[in-house]
Amino acid sequence: LRLCVIPRCLRDDAPGGNNETGRAPPEDSHHHHQQTNSSTHHKKAFPVLSFNYEHVRQPFEISLWILLALLMKLGFHIIPRVSNVVPESCLLIVVGLLIGGIIKAIGEKAPMLDSKLFFLYLLPPIILDAGYFLPIRPFTENMGTILVFAVVGTLWNTFFVGGMMYAVCQIEGAQLGGVDLLSCLLFGSIISAVDPVAVLAVFEEIHINELLHILVFGESLLNDAVTVVLYHLFEEFSHADTVTVGDALLGVVCFFVVSLGGIMVGAIYGLLGAFTSRFTSHTRVIEPLFVFLYSYMAYLSAEVFHLSGIMSLIACGVMMRPYVEANISHKSYTTVKYFMKMWSSVSETLIFIFLGVSTVAGPHAWNWTFVIFTVILCLVSRVLGVIGLTYVINKFRIVKLTKKDQFIVAYGGLRGAIAFSLGFLLTNSQLKNMFLTAIITVIFFTVFVQGMTIRPLVELLAVKKKKESKRSINEEIHTQFLDHLLTGIEDICGHYGHHHWKDKLNRFNKAYVKRWLIAGERSTEPQLISFYNKMEMKQAMMLVESGSAAKLPAIVSSMQNIQPRGPARPRAIPSISKSREQEIRKILRANLQKTRQRLRSYSRHDLLIDPFEDGLSEVRFRRQRVEMERRMSHYLTVPANRQEIPSVRKVCFEPEHQVYTYDTDGESLRGRRASHSHPSASDAAGLVNESTRRPDQSGAAEPRPKAPDDQEDQDQLTLSRCLSDPGPNKDEEGGGSFLS
């Protein structure tokens, strides 16, 4: 797109001598001025409206493409029937084909999926999204398997396909005599890599269980190093005359350098990013940018040295994430999440559309034998590779891979745009066109046939699906418990296994790394507590958003049922004094008013105003508020007859700062940063609290000191909130398959 547009701009610059940097009217008047100087009798009228397309041509076209892509995406989701059967990627390619056809019919030159555009602009967002939200636990648990599939599997595929294609080329009738071994191997290396974009696009929709997803997806990410090395290796060799053993050995060394180097570059940038985020507490607005820029720099830096950019990006995301998330505000976190999803979504859409367009536009050299054999060989090699490798891997795995698993892994080996772009990078020749045609055919085959049929096959084979429920706190407690238990048992057995090293790493992380990279109090916060805080915050926000605060009374009452009976045991729910309650009520009402005013003035820089970030429209918010006010008045008038009243508190959800740590020396307020959004923030919870209140009656009089009061009240409210998980999960994770 850019390459074909730039020459035209330059061309237009030359003859006219106009500088296009100025605006249209002054430029025209300048031109007009020149003209009046040169020819004295001619006087043009002052141009009121003029047309200057060339000036904005490039950004205009880019925007138009992106807009078109997004409209297409929108269209598919509006038509439910189609999108249930056909995966989105297929539809997008078809759209691309149509557009390509239209453009060709018009006679214009269609933009090709230029490799530079692809590798520098379209691919990084997708990989960053994948890497940042990579579920670490299943990934590390299955790391061995993933690596074996990625490295050994890709090598096997390359040599098998390359070798067999060479054999095919030797067949007399195919007119393929001109293809030598190295070219075949080069072709093999391009076509054998499983593509993360395609895998993501298809697997995201079938909601398969976590293990299989991470196997195929992890493989598609990690095989980039192998692909890069093999590609460059064979490309170099095909220009050289002889290949020695030394060269092959250098290739192996190169592989280690590329992969480990890529990971190191990514890790360094990740740590830098984490370190930077430690100091951003005063400029929250630019926090998300740091995440994106450091990651992109990691990618580019790796590409400079021909290291694996994808692995660098993944390493950066993985490294950065736990620390950055502990440091940045909740709003920034949401921004990061949504921007990443947005960019990766746009990129993916554009890639598939361009793939379609390039298919129509590109020069093709169709050779039946070559193409058919390529497709067949790719399938065969994939199946053989998976079966063979699983046989070996199962000897080392605790939980073995079943035949069903193997089938899905083999079937999920989709090829995609990376293969196409790599093919595009080849030097121009007749061979290149033939290769490109074959590559496109394989891509189409895998995406269309395999992509479309994988969903019914998953249903047919009754493969385990991803469990939809959210992580509950019980599960979290027991996961941690299990970790410690297994580590302990390993220690008793004297066996330095997986858990032992993980435990050591965690301790190292906590003792040294976290101290440097996480700001303030949060560095000492254990994981269970961060999880708990996060969970309660999520539920509170979901609660408010869905306006189901009416459920709270019923739920809170059940809290009573948990409390052990008997006079001897201390009651966990304190009652609140009447005066305090009045106080709280007053504050809450005041805040309610302030929110009403604040919603009207919204400016781009002023993030403090908006108390909610998850897509609450103003109308809905107002409606909720009205509802709340109605309930509030109801409760104020109706006398309550409950004995144990949960005390109510304003929870300070500052929009700028994540939930504060629990610190029992009464300093739970310490973690809060002073921010002038303090009152407006409490609106979020304020609305919640309004309806949970019951006009009280218990007479406990003395006003307590504020800090422990906060503590206990906080606990009470969180108890009620933990239960109030309203129906369908508001998909806060933005449609991603994994919990972030």
The residues of the shown chain that bind other proteins, judged by CB under 8 A, are: 394, 398-400, 402, 467, 469, 472-475, 477-482, 484-495, 497-498, 500, 503, 507, 510, 524, 526, 528-529, 532, 536, 555, 557-565, 572, 662-665, 711-712, 714-715, 718-719, 722-723
Compute the half-sphere exposure of residue 695: CA atoms within 13 Å on the CB side of its CA: 11
Question: Which residue is it, tokens 């998953």?
Answer: 458
Kindly tell me which of 345 and 487 has the beta carbon lying closer to other proteins.
487
Provide the token pair at 540: 């509170």
Question: Which residue is it, tokens 């992106």?
Answer: 66
Kindly tell me which of 372 and 461 has the beta carbon lying closer to other proteins.
461
- Residues contacting 164, CB < 8 A, separation 6+: 373, 377, 381
Return the closest-CA partner of residue 673 out of 648, 698, 700, 654. Answer: 654
Residue 664 beta carbon to other proteins: minimum distance, rounded to whole angstroms: 3
465 secondary structure, DSSP code: B
Kindly tell me which of 478 and 623 has the beta carbon lying closer to other proteins.
478
Strand, helix or coil at 516? helix
Kindly tell me which of 433 and 661 has the beta carbon lying closer to other proteins.
661
Q: How far apart are the first and last CA of the chain?
A: 35
- Residues contacting 9, CB < 8 A, separation 6+: 20, 54, 57, 58
Helix (H) or strand (E) holding 373: helix 368-393
Residue 476 beta carbon to other proteins: minimum distance, rounded to whole angstroms: 9
Alpha helices in 19-87 (DSSP H): 24-38, 53-78, 80-85
Kindly tell me which of 19 and 561 has the beta carbon lying closer to other proteins.
561
Kindly tell me which of 387 and 723 has the beta carbon lying closer to other proteins.
723
Whole-angstrom Cα distance, residue 557 to residue 643? 10
Whole-angstrom Cα distance, residue 153 to residue 215? 12
Exposed/middle/buried for 575, CB within 10 Å: 0-12, 13-18, 19+?
middle
Kindly tell me which of 279 and 508 has the beta carbon lying closer to other proteins.
508
Q: What angle do CA 684, 550, 739 make, to 5 degrees?
A: 60
User: How many CB atoms lie under 10 A from the CB of residue 718?
Assistant: 18
Q: What angle do CA 531, 534, 537 make, to 5 degrees?
A: 150
Residue 729 beta carbon to other proteins: minimum distance, rounded to whole angstroms: 14
CB distance 724 to 543 below 8 Å? yes
Cross-strand bridge partners of residue 208: 465
Exposed/middle/buried for 701, CB within 10 Å: 0-12, 13-18, 19+?
exposed
Kindly tell me which of 211 and 320 has the beta carbon lying closer to other proteins.
211
Q: What angle do CA 494, 496, 501 make, to 5 degrees?
A: 140
- Residues contacting 575, CB < 8 A, separation 6+: 644, 645, 647, 696, 698, 700
CB distance 216 to 409 below 8 Å? yes
Kindly tell me which of 14 and 562 has the beta carbon lying closer to other proteins.
562
Return the closest-CA partner of residue 576 out of 399, 698, 479, 685. Answer: 698
Kindly tell me which of 675 and 711 has the beta carbon lying closer to other proteins.
711
Cross-strand bridge partners of residue 465: 208
Amino acid at position 232, single letter: H
Kindly tell me which of 164 and 542 has the beta carbon lying closer to other proteins.
542
Provide the token pair at 216: 């195929």
Q: What is the 3-state secondary structure (H, E, C) of 591-619?
A: HHHHHHHHCCCCCCCCCCCCCCCCCCCHH
Whole-angstrom Cα distance, residue 254 to residue 240? 17
Kindly tell me which of 61 and 490 has the beta carbon lying closer to other proteins.
490
Strand, helix or coil at 563? coil
Handedness of CA 288, 291, 294, 299 (dihedral sign): negative
Kindly tell me which of 57 and 704 has the beta carbon lying closer to other proteins.
704
Residue 488 beta carbon to other proteins: minimum distance, rounded to whole angstroms: 4
Q: What angle do CA 576, 580, 586 make, to 5 degrees?
A: 130
Residue 509 beta carbon to other proteins: minimum distance, rounded to whole angstroms: 13
Kindly tell me which of 69 and 463 has the beta carbon lying closer to other proteins.
463
Provide the token pair at 414: 């989709």
Kindly tell me which of 381 and 661 has the beta carbon lying closer to other proteins.
661
Strand, helix or coil at 208? strand
CB distance 122 to 351 below 8 Å? yes
